[in-house]
Structure 1
Amino acid sequence: MTAADLLAERDRTLVMGVVNVTPDSFSDGGEWFEPAAAIRHGRDVWAAGADIIDVGGESTRPGAERPSVSEELRRVIPVIRELAAEGAVVSVDTMRAEVAEAAVAAGAVIVNDVSGGHADPDMVPYVVGARLPYIAMHWRGHSAEMYARAVYDDVLEEVCRELASRRDELLGAGLAEDLLVLDPGLGFAKTADHNWALLAALPRLHHLGHPILLGASRKAFLGRVGRPPGEPPRPPAERDLETAATSVMAAMAGLWCVRVHDVARTVRALAVVEAAQAHAPVEEGAR
């Protein structure tokens, strides 16, 4: 499938597999830091059934320091080049236009920007000119400052309003409507209560008029489910069952794609949703 085919997919929820080429990501920082290890992991992610492999070289965990441009390039380009050459559909997870451009030259076909183009003024002109699929997340600032901005009167209304505003700016800058994907940004400038409120209202995100990517995988609010007050959350690698539940919620709500660390279990969980939906009665008038 091409990137265009994937963006047009509506019959099922796609799976984007995470490949973090970082020493400090919250979930698996350092585990796949060297290119050879990241390439092996990317192959495993692809073989497990990921529709897209998302390769990133910058951690966005709270308080993370940004790598230099040259270091981010050193991390991701060899991985993207090899995985794309082997036939994988690769997205680059970056906030920098220079990295996005080099990644596309290496074979990436989607740009996944958690800043929605706010972090680098050159990003939007680049993706518009290159006619690239672009994933824009709801964002209120870099990791060091985002939790100070986790203040909402109505998180659903405000996230949707801010995403709609950014959507309009991106389309006004020339981005084609069929190339834009939106992400509500769970965990970014949001408390656990904010995350749960957004999860409870996933169908409302369709009002934005674009495919929706959901990235809940292994985040701390899931690690607190079932834990007594005052106890620390489960470690990130022990949050995959809870993550699978959010992926099922996304699929039931008809979202376009989920971004996850554990691809194999997510694929199995979504197969259950697909099987149930295949047996759903046809609504009157839908024939």
Structure 2
Amino acid sequence: MSRIVYVNGAYVPEEEARVSIFDRGFLMADAVYEVTSVLDGRICEFEGHVARLHRSLAELKMAAPVDDAALLEIHRELIRRNDLTEGTIYLQVTRGAADRDFAWPEGAEPGLVLFTQAKALETPKAAETGIRVASVEDLRWGRRDIKTTQLLYPSLAKMIAREKGADDAWMVEDGYVTEGSSNNAYIVTGAGTIVTRQLSNDILHGITRASVLRLAREAQMVIEERPFTLAEAQAAKEAFSTAASIFVMPVVEIDGVPVGEGTPGPLAKRLREIYIAAAKATSI
């Protein structure tokens, strides 16, 4: 059975999905996106993702194509039509189609595309073994807090990491780790303190990040929001990344140097368990 996707008001088989060649998402990466996770056929952290979507739209002075209730129903309909029990839903809003011009068009109708991706989220093998990361210079634009579709450099960073034999990249700017290619980055000090970079325009304001930090505080874990260096990360007791598609993912090696014992640490594993339980309990 062909996957059913949503394109500008219609549910269609993926083979029949079409967007205009003049869509500014295609021509200019003039678009924003969100990815929500699905566990047991229910959507995790929908309110947080929609709130961030509105923030991204506002920062780019882009109109929302539908209201939040309609957006939720589209998500649920895609889950039903694709019989999705575990995986992700990708959502993209573009400024719309107009003749190519750097200036924003007036009156263009926003584009809206969503599709599902079935994948193991709760028990992927990587969560058991941990992942290896390689450092890559951070050469992205200065507004990383806006979740735009201009992902060429993060894609390049991920491929550079793979060429180095790693699973993912952690990007470094002025000697400090900013974030992963598609996730937020953390270390755990010898004293057990969780360290992650503070929110700013330098990093994406992760929805999973916010929940993980809240849950960590509720579990009486100590958190310090500040930049950390690559050397500090390599010398850490543990390291991990967070994102909607990986939840809490242990990092066991950085640039060929084992982190801690070179295996997923107890704090990261515990945070992953706590997060999954909370995500399931609040899913809709």
Q: TM-score if structure 2 supplies the norm length? A: 0.27
Which structure has greater strand proportion? 2
Larger radius of gyration: 2
